[in-house]
Amino acid sequence: MFDYNIEITAENLPQMFGCMVFNDDVMRERLPRDIYKSLHKTIEDGRELDITVANVVANAMRDWAIEHGATHFTHWFQPMTGITAEKHVSFISPYGNGKIIMEFSGKELIRGEPDASSFPSGGLRATFEARGYTSWDPTSYAFIKDDSLCIPTAFCSFGGEVLDKKTPLLRSMDVISAAATRICQIFGYSDVTRVVPTAGAEQEYFLIDRSLYEKRLDLKLCGRTLFGARSPKGQELEDHYYGAIRPRVIEFMQDLNRELWKLGIYAKTEHNESAPAQHELAPIYGIVNAATDHNQLTMEFLKKVAERHNMACLLSEKPFAGISGSGKHNNWSLSTNTGINLFDPGADPSSNKVFLVFLAAVIEAVDEHQDLLRISVASAGNDHRLGSNEAPPSIISVFLGDEITEILECIADGRPYNHLDVCGMDTGVRTLPEVKKDTSDRNRTSPFAFTGNKFEFRMLGSSNSISGPNTILNTIVADVLERYAERLEKADNAEDEFYFLIRDVYKAHSRIIFNGNNYSTEWIEEADRRGLLNLKSTPEALPLIMNKENIRLFTKHRIYTERELRARYEILVDNYIKVVNIEALTMLDISNRQLIPAAMRYTTEAAYGAAQRKAVGISGTSDSSAVMAKNLAVLSDSLYDRTLALDRTINGAKMIKEPIDCAEYYRKSVLPAMEALRKAADELELLTPRDVWPLPSYSELLFSI
Ligand code: ADP
Ligand code: MG
């Protein structure tokens, strides 16, 4: 039997990597040749799986899972909650005489019927038909977690409508594969038969001490602090980014890496991020559906392993006011079955036609579908981050760097391209090797940057599933590529047409290219002049999803039917309202039951003290105790008044019928009322002794580890 509890060491890591995954090696080893082959055919051609094949695969999976300590199996899926779902079912089956055998059938592998009624469906699931279906996605490997064999599945309603984040992603992968393959064929890559999108998600997160976390209802219920005065020290010394990692955090990271490696997740780099207590983990990229599964698992294990180390991992986008929030960088590229990265410019990008066509397609797609990219990252949590000085603004633009921009400009103007001088960087130190300067010098402020051989979409919030943004990217780029393919195929001279195409695209869409500082106020004005969208908040962005053009796009490529699209829209609006509502109610709870009582007690104590001092005649000339008591009384009153005001404002939402109007109300009325309450509380916190104020302070939270 495989000893899955064996400790991973530097020496055994290559053998232990992926030991909890039913991957290709395991399948080849454990399945009869013909079954293995026919399973592979299904995976590659996307064909329906034969039940006799499924039975054999299920048997092999069960044996392997039991050897690895699993007693249960579960269909593992990604409903619209944004997290994953599982329902564990044990392998046991009665065998007479009170005995059992361990069973797992092909039918159980292929299909599950979870009750769908408790997952968000946006009206797709009639209440009388609660059934939903999960069906095995053989393109993602099964794995073992918590003694359960987890089978990645897609999730749909009884009527076959999509209820998850996985299905649209898989659909979009097919669409872009077909379109990109067509372009490759036009340019003579006749051996390219499939193109896959690849993704690598850099994940940011905060770690705080568990005992402090437990004392904050806002962190426990909402994942972010709703109260808290600034800490005297924040991140202004810039001493945390890339700083030496603290021992407690190193132990956590090592433990986390081991868990992820066992699951075949390529956890690669880790470092301290810019804010105190903030860190980042980046994996090696993979095919986008596996990368999505892996990022979901990474988020799950970040939380789980943190708990094991007496810490709490915060994945919310803006856990602390005045401190950098957490994002997720979605690195995206296209790779052929022959191993070519289609965004690799090669040694001479100016003559690399395939590269330039794919590049042009991204530029056009991003410009045309700014709204969809913005919507793909829209959430109540991310609204606190986008546009606040540390994250890209809500405006989408593309960074290309000087060299690539110049090449496109030359083609557009019909002038020859003179290679930019890529000189060596002189460090002025003789003993250091000469470093070649990167002409695509990284621009850290761009929301959508070309970074050498991939695009980096940086607007995602840390808790975002990457499936949505990648579904959008695949679909919008495929849509443009299809048009290019038609144009190039029709042309008498594909060579000439190529130049006309690049010229036309550049002229029509160069407004989306911006190589400057995205954080500057000048850019916001400039973007406005260029006519770029600036959708500052989720309620402002969401309605655009139902535009005619978007319905055309999604239905044409069969990513969503119009009904499915509307359901997504409704779910997103509903989620926004619920999240802000929970936050507002949490504030009321904390204020009424913790802050106001503490403020009242302390104010009374101070007033009593002042009166006592006066009575015994020790009040000084400025009578500090009386002034202090008065200040406290004024602030306490304001805390009380604003709590009542927030309560009234929340109640006001009940009168509003249309969900999107309600979301707007939460943004325009409830959020400001929350902000006002917080302001009063934070002022009071600064005047209240540590042992009287009921919530751990920002200094404690941020510098506890
Ligand atoms: P940084 O953005 O911090 O400079 P890197 O350039 O090392 O970091 O890459 C960041 C992420 O991009 C990593 O997760 C990496 O695996 C991923 N990446 C690299 N190449 C590709 C590619 N062709 N497709 C998708 N992701 C990629
Ligand atoms: Mg990055």
Reported as a single tens digit per residue, the pLDDT across 481-530 is: 999 999 999 998 888 899 999 999 999 999 999 999 999 999 999 999 99
- 436 has which bridge partners? 424
**Cβ(104) to ligand 1 under 6 A?**
no
**Cβ(336) to ligand 1 under 6 A?**
no
Amino acid identity at 234: G
| Of residues 280, 31, 83, 179, the one with CA closest to residue 559 | 179
Band (617; pLDDT cuts 50, 70, 90) = confident
Characterise 105 by phi-psi region: left (phi > 0), alpha (psi -120 to 50), beta (else). beta
Reported as a single tens digit per residue, the pLDDT across 162-179 is: 999 999 999 999 999 999
pLDDT number for residue 82 = 83
pLDDT number for residue 31 = 96
- Ion ligand 2: residue ranges with CB closer than 5 A: 202, 329
Q: Which atom of ligand 1 is nearest to the CA of 442?
A: 4
Lowest mean pLDDT among 26-30, 44-48, 227-231, 414-418: 44-48
Mean pLDDT of the chain: 92
Please give the average per-residue pLDDT across 428-450, as a whole number: 69
**Cβ(450) to ligand 1 under 6 A?**
no
Angstrom distance (rounded) from CA 558 to CA 475: 10
Please give the average per-residue pLDDT across 464-471, as a whole number: 97
**Cβ(82) to ligand 1 under 6 A?**
no
Relative to beta strand 72-77, strand 148-157 is parallel
pLDDT number for residue 389 = 66
Characterise 101 by phi-psi region: left (phi > 0), alpha (psi -120 to 50), beta (else). beta
**Cβ(278) to ligand 1 under 6 A?**
no
Q: Which ligand is nearest to the CA of 455?
A: 1
Angstrom distance (rounded) from CA 1 to CA 65: 11
Neighbours of 5 (CB within 10 A): 6
Band (123; pLDDT cuts 50, 70, 90) = confident
**Cβ(454) to ligand 1 under 6 A?**
yes
- 331 has which bridge partners? 200, 456
Residues of the chain with pLDDT > 70: what percent?
Answer: 94
Please tell me whether residue 346 adopts helix, strand or coil conformation. Answer: coil
Examine the pLDDT at 158 and tell me if it is beyond 90: no
**Cβ(440) to ligand 1 under 6 A?**
no
Measure 384 CA to ligand 2 centroid, in angstroms. Answer: 20
Reported as a single tens digit per residue, the pLDDT across 74-110 is: 999 999 888 899 989 999 999 988 999 999 999 999 9
Q: Which residue's entry shows tokens 């909402």? A: 222
Pairwise pLDDT comparison (611 vs 587), residue with the higher score: 587
Characterise 346 by phi-psi region: left (phi > 0), alpha (psi -120 to 50), beta (else). left
Give the pair of three-digit tokens for residue 274.
């810019």
Pocket test for ligand 1, best of 196, 260, 454 (most atoms within 8 A of CB): 454
State whether the Cα torsion 560-566-571-577 is positive or negative. positive
Please tell me whether residue 150 adopts helix, strand or coil conformation. Answer: strand
pLDDT number for residue 619 = 64
Lowest mean pLDDT among 41-50, 266-275, 304-313, 412-421: 41-50
Measure 684 CA to ligand 1 centroid, in angstroms. Answer: 45
**Cβ(341) to ligand 1 under 6 A?**
yes
**Cβ(334) to ligand 1 under 6 A?**
no
**Cβ(282) to ligand 1 under 6 A?**
yes
Q: Which ligand is nearest to the CA of 335?
A: 1
Mind listing the domains of the chain with CATH numbers? 13-163 (3.10.20.70), 172-225+239-420+444-560 (3.30.590.10), 576-702 (1.20.120.1560)
Reported as a single tens digit per residue, the pLDDT across 624-658 is: 888 999 999 999 999 999 999 999 999 999 999 99
Please give the average per-residue pLDDT across 265-288, as a whole number: 92
Count Cα neighbours of 71 within 13 Å in the Cβ-side half-sphere.
3
Q: Which ligand is nearest to the CA of 281?
A: 1
**Cβ(283) to ligand 1 under 6 A?**
yes
Pocket test for ligand 1, best of 285, 288, 343, 448 (most atoms within 8 A of CB): 285
Examine the pLDDT at 334 and tell me if it is beyond 80: yes
Band (616; pLDDT cuts 50, 70, 90) = confident
Please give the average per-residue pLDDT across 400-426, as a whole number: 82
Amino acid identity at 372: L
Q: Which atom of ligand 1 is nearest to the CA of 285?
A: 16
**Cβ(331) to ligand 1 under 6 A?**
yes
Measure 335 CA to ligand 1 centroid, in angstroms. Answer: 14
**Cβ(284) to ligand 1 under 6 A?**
yes
Pocket test for ligand 1, best of 331, 333, 359, 473 (most atoms within 8 A of CB): 331
Reported as a single tens digit per residue, the pLDDT across 541-556 is: 999 999 999 999 999 9
Cα 455 to Cα 199, 289, 336, 358, 481, distances in angstroms: 10, 17, 16, 12, 17
